[in-house]
Amino acid sequence: MKKFSLRGNVHDVGLRMELIGMGIRYNLRVLPTNVEGRNQVDVIVVGNESDIQRFYEYVKSHDIRINKEGTVYEIDSLEDYNVAEPDWTFETIRFIMEQLRKGAFEIFESGAVRTKYGDHISKTRA
């Protein structure tokens, strides 16, 4: 198991989703986690050493963010990470719920949702 961190413009740009998707292509399990209060994403990677190294080198040499606005991120060195392996089921569900919440919030904020009475729902209504 290895770990590295990405710093810079890394939140709300589709980075974690792309890291997970790329991990699948490299036959890896990838757990990217936003670090609250910092512009940082910590990434835990589990799999074959050579696959991890190829994945890391790709992320290091390409801007993999879905939304490429703003400056490109900086990446720390790849390090051994000797702790218990994450509970992948829990982490997958947690990530999906975070993404669904973001999407639902954006839909409600846009005013695109109406109640069954025809009213627009906004953040100012309880």
| pLDDT tens, position by position, 33-61 | 999 899 999 999 999 999 999 999 999 99
pLDDT at residue number 77: 96
pLDDT at residue number 114: 60
Which regions in the chain score pLDDT beneath 70?
Answer: 111-126
70: Cβ contacts below 8 Å, ≥ 6 apart: 8, 9, 13
pLDDT at residue number 115: 57
pLDDT at residue number 112: 63
Give the CATH class of 2-81.
alpha beta
> Where in the sequence of the chain do the CATH 3.30.70.100 domains occur?
2-81
Q: Residue type for 69, please?
A: E
pLDDT at residue number 64: 94
